[in-house]
Amino acid sequence: MAEFAIASLIALIVALLMVGAVVLRSVWIVPQARARNVERLGRYRKTLQPGMNFIIPFVDKVKPLIDLREQVVAFQDQSVITEDNLVVHIDTVLFFQVTDPRAADYEIVDYIKAIEQLTATQLRNVIGTLDLEASLSSRDRINTALRGVLDDASGKWGIRVTRVEIKAIEPPQSIKDAMEKQMRAEREKRATILQAEGIRQAKILTAEGEKQGSILEAEGARQSAILRSQGEAQAIEQVFTSIHRNDPDPKLLAYQYLQTLPELAKGEGNTFWVIPSEVTSALRSVTQAFAGEKPSPARPPEERPAPDALPEGHTPPYELPPSDARAS
């Protein structure tokens, strides 16, 4: 009896283990944005959706997990010949998404490798129709062309190509050196043009400033001359008005003339002055007034003695001695 009980217990444990294994093989949990294909007796049966799924154990076979999210694949650089027979190396990046897990699993063995080869082929076809300059400046055009071709070719594989980007286009080293020299020459040309334009503008502004300064200076000189002339005219008018109003005698005129003589002597080249006879008469009257003598009446010009009749060492009353009439 004891042996039968032990055998029954062992059989029960084995049955429970088998039931547990069957249950575990029957329930499959698929994460979000993932999918699994199921084969029954070697044929495609269904695709497990995200969540809990049930299958028949030992009859249905669950294949590896397929990612339904958008994926990014960077391919190695490809050597491509342009239309002008230059070899360039191009790195590409591909963005794609699996839309049909069944087709991606059964229509192609390795869809990533297939997309890489297809990208290289189409890249050679597109770049072969462009020269180097167009290839470097037409990345958007190349990306659009590649995306359209890859999307059409990979549609039957259950894959949708969302975007194709060219990471880098590397021309030969000799072409890179020539391009660098060309860019340096263009930069120097632009710098020379800008410098010449700046010098031109500076000269124009300087000339305009000098012109405006000359105009303003001339206008100021004109206004100054006008004001100076007006002031002198007013001063002369006031002097003559005052003289005629006060009716000055010869003594005052002689005194004023004596005050003016130092001013006359200040000018360069003023070495000779002619003194009118009226001034000498006034000076004689002033001298007699200071000496306490009565001024003698002035004789008319016709009564004055001739220069030859005067005593030696005397001069006419309307002339100064030579030593007084000349100043150095």
How many Cα atoms within 13 Å fall on the side-chain side of residue 141?
9
Average pLDDT, the chain: 78
Position with higher pLDDT, 109 vs 235 = 109
Domains within the chain, CATH numbers bracketed:
22-68 (no CATH), 70-171 (3.30.479.30), 252-303 (no CATH)
Distance CA 105, CA 37 (A): 8
Give the residues across from 272 on adjacent strands: 326
Task: Give the model's pLDDT for residue 47.
Answer: 93
Distance CA 299, CA 289 (A): 18
How many Cα atoms within 13 Å fall on the side-chain side of residue 115?
32
Task: Give the model's pLDDT for residue 148.
Answer: 83
Distance CA 49, CA 39 (A): 15
Residue 138 has pLDDT above 50, yes or no: yes
Percent of the chain with pLDDT over 70: 73
Task: Give the model's pLDDT for residue 8.
Answer: 77
Is the CB of residue 175 less than 8 Å from the CB of residue 86? yes
Residue type, 50: P
* Beta strand extents in the chain (DSSP E only): 27-30, 34-40, 43-48, 51-54, 60-67, 70-74, 78-81, 87-98, 159-170
**76 φ, ψ to 5°?**
-70, 160
Task: Give the model's pLDDT for residue 302.
Answer: 45
Scan for tokens 């993932």, then name that residue.
Answer: 34
Question: pLDDT category, 324, cuts 50, 70, 90?
Answer: very low
- Read off the pLDDT of residues 157-214 as tens digits, 9 standing for 90 and up: 999 988 888 888 888 787 778 778 888 888 888 899 999 999 999 999 989 888 888 8
- Read off the pLDDT of residues 24-83 as tens digits, 9 standing for 90 and up: 788 889 999 999 999 998 899 999 999 999 888 888 899 999 999 999 988 888 888 888
Question: pLDDT category, 315, cuts 50, 70, 90?
Answer: very low
Provide the edge-to-edge strand list for the sheet that holds 60-67: 43-48, 34-40, 60-67
> Tokens for 170?
């590397």
Task: Give the model's pLDDT for residue 289.
Answer: 57
Give Cα separations from 215 to 105, 168, 210, 222, 308 (angstroms).
Answer: 91, 63, 8, 10, 63
Residue 270 has pLDDT above 70, yes or no: no
Closest CA to 258 of 238, 237, 239, 286: 286
- Which of 10-24, 217-231, 246-260 comes out lowest in average pLDDT? 246-260
Q: Compute the average pLDDT of residues 279-289.
A: 61
Task: Give the model's pLDDT for residue 319.
Answer: 43
Sort 74 into a burial class: Cβ within 10 Å, 0-12 / 13-18 / 19+. Answer: exposed
- Read off the pLDDT of residues 217-230 as tens digits, 9 standing for 90 and up: 898 888 888 988 88
